Structure 1
Amino acid sequence: MRFVKLLLISVIIFGVVVFLTSLLFPSTAVVERTGVIQAPIDTVYAHIANLKAWDPWNPWTRPDTTATLVYSDPAIGTGAWYSWDGKENSGKVTILDSDPAKGVHYLLDIKGVRPVNSGIELKPTRDGKGTAIFWHMEIKLGMLPWWKLRGFVADRVYGPAMNNGLTKLSKICEGK
C-alpha cells in the first residue's frame, strides 16, 4: 500500500513539474520559408491571390484527396475563400488581406484544429526582374504541454511541404 501511495504522489508531482515547465515554452509556433522567383511580382501575385490557382503548387490545397472543394465567387482577393469536405478532414481557407504590391494573408481553419494565420508576402528584387517571396505560418498551440511540444517539430513537419510548394510556384511562374 505504501508503494502505491508513493507511486501516485510521484506521478502527480511529475505531472505538475511537466506542466509548470511547459509554461516556459512559447504558445505559438512559427514556420517560415523564403525564396526568389524569377518572374515579375504581378505574375506571382496572380497565382497566390486566386485560390483556384493554388491547386498545382500549394501542398495544403487538397489535404484530403477524397475532398470536394467549394470556392467563393469570386475566388480572388480579400474575402475570397475555399472549403473542402472529405473523409479525413474538412476546413476552410479565407483570404483576410490581399494587396498586389504586398501579397496575401489568409486564415487556414481545419475542423478540430486551432486556426492557422498565414501569409505570403511579396517584394520586387533589387533588379526589378524577380520577386522575393516570404511564406509564413503562425500556429497557436494552446497551453497544454503536449501541444506545446508539437511546436518544437512544427518546422520539420511543415517546412519541407512549404519548400516544395515554393519550388512548384517558382516553376509555374517562371514557365518551366
Structure 2
Amino acid sequence: MRFIKLFFLSVLCFGILIFLISLLLPSKAIVERSGVIDAPLSTVYAEINNLNTWPEWNPWTAPGVAQKIEFSNPPAGQGAFYTWSGMQQDKPVSGKVLIRESTPQKGVYYNMEFNTMKPVVAAFELKPSVDGKGTAIQWRLETKLGMLPWWKLRGFLSDRLTGPLLEDGLTKLKNICEQKK
C-alpha cells in the first residue's frame, strides 16, 4: 500500500513539475523562412495569390498529404479558400485554407485550420529585393498554443518540424517563379 501511495505521489509531483516548466515556454509558436526570388513581384504575387497553383509548391497540398482538394470559385484573392482531406497514418485528416487579405504590394495573409491541430495564422510578405530586380519573400506561420504543456512542447519543436517544409516550399516556389519571368 505504501508503494502505491509513493507511486501516485511521484506521478502527481512529476505532473506539477512538467506544468510549471511549461509555463516558461512561450504560448505562441512562430516559424518563418525567407528568401529572394529572381522574378518580378507581380510574378511571385500571382503564384501565391492563386490557390490553384499551391499544389505545385506548397508542402501541405502535396499528393501524399491531401488526397482530395476542393477550391472556391474564384480561387484567388481575398475570401478565396480550399478545403482538403486525406488519410495520414490510417486516420482521416482534413483542413481549410482561407485568404483573409491579399494585396500585390504587401503579400497574402491567410488562415489554416486542421482537424487535429490548433489554427494557424500565416502570411507571405513580399517586397522588392535590395537590388530591385527580384522579390524578397517571407513565409510566416503563427500558432497560439494555449497553456497545456503538450501543446507548448509541440510549439517548442515547431521550428524543427515545420521549418524544413517551409524551406522546401520556398525552393519550389522560387524555381517556378524564375521559370515564368
Q: Same fold judged by TM-score > 0.5? A: yes
Q: Report how far residue 11 of structure 1 moved.
A: 1.4
Identify the residue that residue 34 of structure 2 maps to in structure 1: 34
Higher mean alpha-carbon deviation, 129-138 vs 142-151, is at 142-151
Q: AA paired with 1:142? A: G
The CA distance in 2 between the partners of 1:142 and 1:63, in whole Å, is 31
Q: Identify the residue that residue 111 of structure 2 maps to in structure 1.
A: 107
Structure 1, unaligned stretches of length 5 or more? Answer: none
| Aligned residue type for 2:53 | A
Q: Which residue of 1 aligns with 2:48?
A: 48
Q: Is the deviation greater in 12-21 or in 47-56? A: 12-21
Amino acid in the other structure paired with 2:57: W
Matching of residue 97 in structure 1 with residue 101 in structure 2:
yes
Please tell me whether the aligned partners of residues 27 and 148 of structure 1 are also in contact (alpha carbons under 8 angstroms).
yes
User: Are positions 1:23 and 2:50 aligned together?
Assistant: no
2:127 alignment partner in structure 1:
123
Amino acid at match of 1:14: F
Shift of residue 165 of structure 1?
0.6
Deviates more, 1:13-22 or 1:131-140: 13-22
Alignment match of 2:162 (pick from 123, 134, 158): 158
How many pairs were matched up?
A: 176
Q: Distance in 2 between matches of 1:128 and 1:89?
A: 42
Change (3 A) 1:27 1:170: same
Report SS of the residue matched to 1:114. coil
Note the alpha carbon deviations across 1:68-105, whole angstroms, 9 max, x for none. Answer: 11111101111000001223311110001100001001
Structure 2 gap ranges (5+)? none
SS where residue 175 of structure 1 aligns? helix
The answer to whether the 8 A contact 2:29-2:142 is kept is yes
Letter of the structure 2 residue corresponding to residue 44 of structure 1 = V
**In 2, are the aligned partners of 1:62 and 1:84 still within 8 Å (CA)?**
no
Q: Write the letter of the residue equivalent to 1:6.
A: L
Give the TM-score normalised by the residue count of structure 1.
0.94
Please say which of residues 59-68 and 111-120 is displaced more in the overlay. Answer: 59-68
Q: Structure 1 segments of 4 or more deviating over 3 A?
A: 62-66
Residue of structure 2 in register with 1:9 after alignment: 9
Q: Which has the higher helix share?
A: 2
Root mean square deviation, CA, Å: 1.5
Match of residue 173 from structure 1: 177
C-alpha change, 1:167 and 1:29, in structure 2 (3 Å) is same
In 1, Cα distance between equivalents of 2:65 and 2:157: 25
> In the aligned structure 2, how far is the partner of 1:20 from the partner of 1:65?
36
